[in-house]
Amino acid sequence: MTRAPASPATLPGDTGSEWPDTTTRPSELRGSAFGSTLFDALASAPPKAPSTFDVCHVGVVLRALLFVHLVMAAGVLFVASSLASWLALASAGSAVALPGVLLWLLVACLLKHPLAALPEGAQWFAASGLGAVSGLFGWGLGWFSGLDLFSGVRWLAPVLAGAGMAAAIFHWLRLRARARLPADTTARLIELQSRIRPHFLFNTLNTALSLVRLDPARAEGVLEDLAELFRVALADSGESVTLAEEVELAKRYLAIEQIRFGRRLQVSWELDPDAGSARVPPLLLQPLVENAVRHGVEPAAEGGVIRVRTRIKLGNAVVSIANSVPDAPSRPGSGMALRNVRERLRLMHDVTAQFETRHERGMFKVQIVVPL
Is there a domain that residue 295 lies in?
A: yes
Would you state the pLDDT for residue 38?
37
Distance CA 145, CA 12 (A): 82
Is there a domain that residue 258 lies in?
A: yes
8 Å CB contact between 306 and 289 = yes
Would you state the pLDDT for residue 113?
83
- 101 and 227 within one domain: no
Q: Could you tell me the CATH number of the domain that includes residue 223?
A: 3.30.565.10
Q: What is the mean pLDDT of residues 10-21?
A: 38
Query: Which residues neighbour 298 within 8 Å (Cβ) at sequence distance 6 or greater?
Result: 16, 261, 330
Please indicate whether residue 184 or residue 5 has the higher confidence score (pLDDT).
184
- Of 139, 161, 184, which marks where a domain is finished? 184
- 45 and 62 within one domain: no
8 Å CB contact between 162 and 138 = yes
- Chain center to CA of 342: 7
Is there a domain that residue 14 lies in?
A: no
- 209 and 162 within one domain: no
Q: Does 308 have pLDDT greater than 80? A: yes
8 Å CB contact between 236 and 275 = no
33-47, 88-102, 160-174, 267-281 — most confident range: 267-281
DSSP-assigned beta bridge partners for residue 370: 317
- 271 and 149 within one domain: no
- Of 159, 184, 209, which marks where a domain is finished? 184
Is there a domain that residue 8 lies in?
A: no
Tell me whether residue 40 is exposed, middle or buried, using C-beta atoms within 10 angstroms of its C-beta: 0 to 12, 13 to 18, 19 or more.
exposed
- 337 and 217 within one domain: yes
- 232 and 278 within one domain: yes
Neighbours of 238 (CB within 10 A): 9
- Which of 6-20, 77-91, 286-300, 305-319 has the lowest average pLDDT? 6-20
- Report the relative pairing of strands 265-270 and 304-313 from DSSP bridges: parallel
Would you state the pLDDT for residue 316?
92
Helix, strand or coil, per DSSP, at residue 318: strand
8 Å CB contact between 162 and 100 = yes
Is there a domain that residue 17 lies in?
A: no
Distance CA 23, CA 118 (A): 52
Please indicate whether residue 356 or residue 23 has the higher confidence score (pLDDT).
356
Per-residue pLDDT reduced to its tens digit, 220-235:
887 887 777 777 666 5
- Of 184, 204, 220, which marks where a domain is finished? 184
Distance CA 143, CA 282 (A): 49
- 204 and 175 within one domain: no
Is there a domain that residue 328 lies in?
A: yes
Please, which pLDDT band fits residue 323 given cuts at 50, 70 and 90?
Answer: very high
Neighbours of 253 (CB within 10 A): 21
Is there a domain that residue 79 lies in?
A: yes
If we measure between CA atoms, which residue out of 311, 285, 286, 307 comes closest to residue 296?
307
- 275 and 334 within one domain: yes
CA-based radius of gyration for the chain: 27
The strand ranges marked E within the chain are: 241-242, 265-270, 279-280, 304-313, 316-324, 354-360, 363-371
- 42 and 112 within one domain: no
Per-residue pLDDT reduced to its tens digit, 17-67:
333 333 333 333 333 333 333 334 334 444 444 567 878 878 888 888 888
Full domain range(s) for residue 215: 28-49+196-371
Distance CA 261, CA 367 (A): 25
- 202 and 177 within one domain: no
Is there a domain that residue 3 lies in?
A: no
Tell me which amino acid residue 10 is: T
User: What region, left, alpha or beta, does residue 146 occupy, with left being phi > 0 and alpha being psi -120 to 50 degrees?
Assistant: left
Query: How many separate domains does the chain show?
Result: 2
- 66 and 40 within one domain: no
Q: What is the mean pLDDT of residues 330-337?
A: 66
Would you state the pLDDT for residue 10?
42
Helix, strand or coil, per DSSP, at residue 17: coil
- 319 and 174 within one domain: no
Q: CA 35, 41, 47: angle at the middle one, nearest 5?
A: 150
